[in-house]
Structure 1
């Protein structure tokens, strides 16, 4: 048996039990793993629905142009459908979306316009406004508007909801999902409640989105709207597709919790999935913990996991990106401070001044048996670094370089890290540059200590199996 096109493979995604992460709750927790769709996300479902609805209504003719504002996943779903049906695609997105998402859309033949994130929805530069303008300017085009188009909700009434009911044999008691356009949670929740009105539907919202407060207080609070990193969920508008009557509760999750849970799902459950999946699971576990007294072993909770981790390789699954945003987890209790305390000597680092001559630095390095120094000025600011390699290169170029000052050949400063930094994060600093870092040794007098790779190896070798000092 075969499918006439890739569209025949959309839907019927698996349910996977969440084991380690959910071992503390008394019920069964399942993930609806939507990256099994051909475009890699739950949005493949509405890609078909939105376009076929436009066709039925005569909003687009053969060879026309599909226009949509998307965080990436809806665009991929629409592009796949457009390929099968012979349409051109133009998508607007925001500059906060991962490069992988933009690359996927372009790989599927779409034109992509990247718009600023931090502008009001009605600003002409926003990705909403840009999509509407393009639809007005381009003949035989249609702006599908996933936010207000009822065929978005209909796709989940017709597919996602029935799948969950059938796959759980009607045993599902809770459905938990993130909300963006509102289509997934509203359509799936609507179908499930039509089968059993006792099913609880819980929405998960990122901090910075309007849904959580609007649900609980009925207030659209502009002060609640602020930038957040998590992609594809939450809104700064109230889409018509968001049916709050279907939802029984809303919880909020911050970016750091989202990113860490996303990586834990990969590491502990083998589910290599995206940011909104981590947010949904973190929110689900938070809600289940808060309502544990109402749960028992017969309850079946389904958490919708929208997309694949491959769209976040440069972000959530990139250690440097995680660290730069303050999202990194620490899996060891050993810190830089422990390294300093273990060493046989706790003497401050030997440093050079920018005005020292290279000749004097050669003598100092030889006398102390060291190969590199930080360069620290009279105000105790770290302004550079000097290594024996830099000195050697200068002397080869000119024997008179012995009389030149350090500042003429010094390199970039060594990184300065806090004593509280965990060693797993320290290693990334040591892998680059001169292979050493500075630690503030005494805040009162502005002196520093230095840590090298050998110090790190020694500290890790001495820590016990639990990663404690």
Structure 2
């Protein structure tokens, strides 16, 4: 068995500590149990495998990608295992734990200012494209615009959820940055049962919520936020809004309070997007008629964020309390 053969087939964990109607169940897929520590292992294995089959990635080649950390970790892991070089660009808000883990596996990390506007030379996406263009024989996964991103989830995440829960699935809820998870998983679940509801969660400061509801990308709404791996300042071509039924906005405080709840009440130490996803799943669960089953994903572990969202001093410096989860009026 090699490292890539252990990607996927992660367990579904029922969450029982949240205040939802008695016959509404919430399940979360433990994607932090992938060998690279996140859900991004799935897409990296799928895209690299496709590139090798098509001759786009030769022995000893360089893989270049922009990442908020988890895709980079999967690339670094598989690059090390397959003899590739990895160059990864990321915004400077990415936790030090993530950056250090990539370097430990031999990747070159290029840190870019999170404040750089889309299209500027210092934006982490633009920087990756520039490095790719200047590195002969290199390969770029292009996770934001590559349809294989969503296809990986259509062929793995969605089927695994359906195999485990079948027609009981009522709704799938997930945050999105590239859009691969929400698009591919929702498309598969809807192919099995068109009545499955798909809900995208978008952080305040991202563009997807306004775009979905009003068809507008408003640069004035782009603002900094702390959650890593969710939301975006540009439209990713991988995001397929045709399979999304609603978009709910969350805040950093919503996500981080739910992370603490998961750690202290469920024994699950998870990252910020996991907190956001479960917070959203709770809101959806409260709006559904019973019986119902809401499914979400836990994209990565909280071990990567100990210095931030589990650090009382960091929370205090950035104005986050330790209160209960804030409710949201149902929108479904």
Q: Same fold (TM over 0.5)?
A: yes
Aligned to 1:296: 290
Cα separation, 2, equivalents of 1:328 and 1:24: 27
Cα separation, 1, equivalents of 2:315 and 2:37: 23
Give the count of matched residue pairs.
324
Cα separation, 2, equivalents of 1:249 and 1:123: 31
Aligned to 1:174: 171
Q: What secondary structure sits across from 1:205 in the alignment?
A: strand
Aligned to 1:325: 318
Matching of residues 213-252 of structure 1 within 5 Å: 213-252=210-249
What CA deviation, in whole Å up to 9, does each residue of 1:306-359 have, x standing for no partner?
A: 10000001001101001111112159xxxxxxxxxxxxxxxxxxxxxxxxxxxx
Q: Which runs of 5+ in 2 are unaligned?
A: 325-332
Q: CA deviation at 1:23?
A: 4.3
2:302 to 303, 309, 323: 309
Cα separation, 2, equivalents of 1:192 and 1:255: 29
TM-score between both structures, scaled by the size of structure 2: 0.95
Q: CA deviation at 1:25?
A: 5.7
1:199 to 192, 196, 200: 196
1:278 pairs with 2:275: yes
Aligned to 1:120: 117
TM-score between both structures, scaled by the size of structure 1: 0.68
Shift in alpha-carbon separation, 1:286–1:23, aligned structure 2, 3 A? closer
Cα separation, 2, equivalents of 1:133 and 1:214: 28
Kept in 2: contact 1:35–1:308 (CA 8 A): yes
Kept in 1: contact 2:121–2:127 (CA 8 A): yes
Matching of residues 116-195 of structure 1 within 5 Å: 116-195=113-192
Shift in alpha-carbon separation, 1:25–1:208, aligned structure 2, 3 A? farther
1:38 pairs with 2:35: yes
2:67 to 44, 60, 70: 70
Kept in 1: contact 2:26–2:285 (CA 8 A): no
What CA deviation, in whole Å up to 9, does each residue of 1:430-450 have, x standing for no partner?
A: xxxxxxxxxxxxxxxxxxxxx
1:54 pairs with 2:59: no
Cα separation, 2, equivalents of 1:16 and 1:276: 16
Kept in 2: contact 1:262–1:277 (CA 8 A): yes
Cα separation, 1, equivalents of 2:22 and 2:320: 25
Q: CA deviation at 1:286?
A: 2.1
Cα separation, 2, equivalents of 1:286 and 1:239: 26
Matching of residues 382-421 of structure 1 within 5 Å: none
Matching of residues 411-450 of structure 1 within 5 Å: none
Cα separation, 2, equivalents of 1:167 and 1:173: 13
Q: CA deviation at 1:26?
A: 3.8
Cα separation, 2, equivalents of 1:107 and 1:146: 23
- Relative contact order, higher structure (CA 8 A, sep 6+): 2
Kept in 1: contact 2:208–2:231 (CA 8 A): yes
Cα separation, 2, equivalents of 1:191 and 1:24: 27
Max Rg structure: 1
What CA deviation, in whole Å up to 9, does each residue of 1:93-125 have, x standing for no partner?
A: 110010001011111111101000011110001
Q: Which runs of 5+ in 1 are unaligned?
A: 332-469
Q: CA deviation at 1:57?
A: 2.9
Q: CA deviation at 1:58?
A: 2.4
Kept in 2: contact 1:79–1:89 (CA 8 A): yes
